[in-house]
Chain A
């Protein structure tokens, strides 16, 4: 478990990091916590010549109140995001998902932006970010640009971030008062989810006024369960009503088949977990 030799640079600012990236380009990998990159290096699945560490860029850490949204610095650790009262108040779904994310050691080393930029479809943050309509702020040589969550996840391990750009911030629209639940299905505790469902709902009395649902590991990117969301809107939060809507959750998904389950099993799980997640988010379980 010894990585191939590489050069290491730890810039103090985003600008310096971008310069390093421009200089080394294809020969470089960015490390943003290292919880996925380090195993790859140690198993020699990849051998970049340069590793650019964003860990010393203080401006990339912390949760900021941006008025109508929260801005989460890309290098904020999972632990810090999960413990943040603003996140708990305005983006409860993210707090819930983080309680299920890996283990305590990983949550203290891994970063919010790093995990999202890694774009593992089995990662726990993609589905919540998608469900919450997060905006991804990326910075490149020409300045910053914003990418909507729906456009951010392109494919397995592939995002809209260009080779000369760095993810600097993730903005979550404030949704105070929304109920939320992250239903993660695993065989053992420290496993990536076989399927997970991120659901957040706005209740008006006993009625689901609005529902937002993201699915983890049901395709090569996180996906929204749009048909379910539409059917739920304006419906009473009953077991039957939610079940009927959740039955549509896997429509249009292309889940993988692997050791932990074939695609048809995952589609089935998605419907069961969606029902449970929505009912839990609606305070009905």
Chain B
């Protein structure tokens, strides 16, 4: 059982420290990849396919080659095997169909935006100018664009593969022995219960990180140095070595300050590989920085699923089974995690509930569109959306309050640890406490009363209340579990602690921050553990020469896995210091206590600070016999379980029934993320996550037209919200410490994104349900809401055309 309790407060843990990295990040007085300029550095520009599927019949580089200051124009054939390959690290089934993915294809392009040639010039502008001069002859091929049609193999995305279906991955609780037979549960419910059948669309999204991707490669020197705006320097180094034949020891990858990723920089990109190959071929440093247009077009997209769902329940509302059948759009290639994204969702459709039977199947489909991969939440937002929408539908069917139906089905706090029907063991949680607190903050009963009053009055502006009680599996991940799922790597994390001679401390983490605030949070952990001032700690990361071991940052893993590795390394430092302290204090090690950064001899006032011991060890004049003169320590930690934050999110929206416009009225959430290291960082994570999840519900959608052209190719048409579009969120926490790490922490990086999307859509549907609406396709545009009110549909498809705002005609006036 897990009681709700206050965090054990150290001097630093739990303190709302301002982030130490922010001054340099916000003022730009730092090193981003694109700031790096090396002597003799050349610049790259990519020539990209305008067609989604075409044979390359000829590339004429003559004019580009002779342009001013152009050094080379190279095609895939020119780079040959040196270009390596883009890897898929997670073949979800052993017979997965995986198209070969050359960074620059030689004969055929498989999505609009794919690179077919690279121009190398002395300046970025000259490279761009010359790229316009490269003439590529294409023979257009039929393109597989629509996900459902592609699943039927009507047109093949890769004709030589013979199918678009990359993999079918399935979990069945009866087969796995974790629960009953779902078909039987559905059959029984059809006879004598309730069956809810729905189909939901997870639209395609674009991660849209702030800093476009950028890469610099310097082949001069003994190691090839790669700077990249990536989330995954360690994985990138591995992939570069594995696919090019360059020894791993000859590659150094540096992720300097990186401006956001949201999963979008969890990739080994074609552009990184092309830059690597060009630098090696020419023996010169090169840089490639994408434009925003290139970023939206070619950096991997996220989501893009159809979800067919069947929920079976008894007449009183106890869920007896859930069946999930997904179509997932992989795009043109199976990206590094790619097909694993829907599989990450497979364990989460049952969410916080005690479902007796469960079945999940995903069909992963190749199409001629930009490849898809992890995007904040990766699989879990999709799962949470589906079940939280279904629980509202069940409540409607029963005529009950949606929170009441959830409570009937959720795991009670005294039932933890709880093994779910998907086979996961949830360590701790308290859904009752989080829900009670959220309801109180929200003023749930008052808002319900207002809703009833507006309905009775026939107000043109209707109020809707949406609920989302989410949990997620994060803190990726136990290596054994990853192995059992056929993932290509482990999920451990590494940390080192260096005790400097002057009493300062350097911490090295293998988690590669790209905006999360690792430097602050990890400093707080170390400050408490070692008893040294926060300011005296430096956190180093993101350089394979400094942080030689690591598995990087994604899946809300840095704190719960990397933080635990750090704690273990810190504890080793203390244990190494203990015999030195005993020696110098002329006491028995057993008589020493360590607290507040000092070893003291029990019952005396004699003591010594750990920083003084660090200085003594540096001098090494007077150490115990045989002792190695170093306190430095490292630890590699492999988690024993995932990590299960949860929370109750409540959203109120006002829907203008005349226009369909949705306005956020109130949003409150009470998340249980275990012990909080830094409340300010947590608030930032929750706020940002909420906006991204709300954006999926209301605003963002990547749209292709029938020619396979990305219509939402700029921020004019891909509607990224700003602060002007959101409201102030009210957030709070309950605390059920995680039992699987010593700090009691749970991940928070994805929580807001996972929870908020269904809360908002549930609210929108709730506002107009009495007008005959039971679903609205995301994003819930005003037009869709208006059409749903008009005819009870879910709002129809998006028209695949953008409004022209920029005059492309030649010459003329203002």
Contact = CB atoms under 8 A, between A and B. Distances in A.
Interface of A: 1-2, 4-5, 25-32, 36, 39-40, 43-46, 48, 54, 74, 113-114, 117-118, 120, 122, 156-157, 159, 161, 163, 165-167, 185, 187-192, 194, 217, 256-262, 265, 268-269, 272-273
B801 A54 contact: no
Contacts of B808: 40, 45-46
Given A257-B801, A261-B782, A189 B724 contact: yes
B812 A260 contact: no
A54 B814 contact: yes
Contact of B711 (A114, A257, A259): A259
A33 to B, nearest CB: 8
Contacts of B658: 272
Q: Determine chain B's interface SS by DSSP, over half rule.
A: loop
B719 interface: yes
A261 B125 CA distance: 38
A39 to B, nearest CB: 6
The 4 closest A-B pairs by CB, nearest first: A117-B814, A189-B724, A26-B811, A157-B807
A76 to B, nearest CB: 13
Interface residues of B, number: 47
Contacts of B802: 258-259
Contact of B805 (A122, A261, A272): A122
The listed residue with most B CB atoms (<10 A of its CB), out of A27, A32, A261, A268, is A261
B703 interface: yes
A117 B812 CA distance: 10
8 contacts: A26-B811, A28-B811, A43-B293, A117-B814, A189-B725, A190-B722, A259-B798, A259-B800
A156 B805 CA distance: 9
A192 B801 contact: no
Interface of B: 124-125, 128-129, 132, 291-293, 658-659, 661, 698-699, 703, 711-712, 714, 716-717, 719-722, 724-725, 781-783, 786-787, 798-814
B803 A122 contact: yes
B812 A259 contact: no
A74 B813 CA distance: 13
A188 B695 CA distance: 10
A31 B519 CA distance: 46
Contacts of B803: 122, 192, 217, 256, 258-260
Given A46-B807, A166-B813, A187-B781, A258 B719 contact: no
Nearest to A43: B293
Contacts of B711: 259
A265 B786 contact: yes
B789 to A, nearest CB: 11
A167 B805 contact: no
The listed residue with most B CB atoms (<10 A of its CB), out of A117, A163, A259, is A259
A25 B811 contact: yes
Contacts of A163: 811-813
Nearest to B293: A43
Given A192-B716, A259-B798, A260-B783, 15 more contacts: A5-B129, A30-B813, A30-B814, A32-B814, A46-B808, A163-B812, A187-B698, A188-B724, A259-B711, A259-B712, A259-B803, A262-B783, A272-B658, A272-B659, A273-B659
A43 B806 contact: yes
Contacts of A1: 291-293
A258 B799 contact: yes
Contacts of A261: 781-783, 799
B814 A268 contact: no
Nearest to B294: A1
Contacts of B804: 156-157
A159 B722 contact: no
Contact of B659 (A118, A217, A269): A269
Given A122-B803, A188-B719, A259-B803, A157 B809 contact: yes
A27 B804 CA distance: 22
Nearest to A159: B813
A36 to B, nearest CB: 6
Given A4-B132, A26-B811, A27-B811, A188 B801 contact: no
Given A256-B803, A259-B799, A265-B786, A187 B810 contact: no
Contact of A257 (B129, B698, B799): B799
A44 B811 contact: no
A28 B805 CA distance: 20
A117 B717 contact: no
A283 to B, nearest CB: 20
Contacts of B724: 188-190
A113 B813 CA distance: 11
Nearest to A193: B803
Contacts of A2: 124-125, 128
The listed residue with most A CB atoms (<10 A of its CB), out of B125, B659, B720, B806, is B806
A189 to B, nearest CB: 4
Contacts of A156: 804
Contacts of A256: 801, 803
Contacts of B129: 4-5
The listed residue with most A CB atoms (<10 A of its CB), out of B292, B721, B787, B813, is B813
Contacts of A32: 814
A260 B659 CA distance: 13
A2 B45 CA distance: 11
Nearest to A46: B808
Nearest to B782: A187
A40 B717 contact: no
Contacts of A192: 716, 803, 805
B613 to A, nearest CB: 55
A26 B809 CA distance: 10
B25 to A, nearest CB: 21
Nearest to B723: A189
Contacts of B712: 259
Contacts of B805: 36, 120, 122, 192
Nearest to B721: A188
B811 A260 contact: no
A166 B806 CA distance: 19
A260 B699 CA distance: 10
A29 B811 contact: yes
A163 B798 CA distance: 38
B703 A259 contact: yes
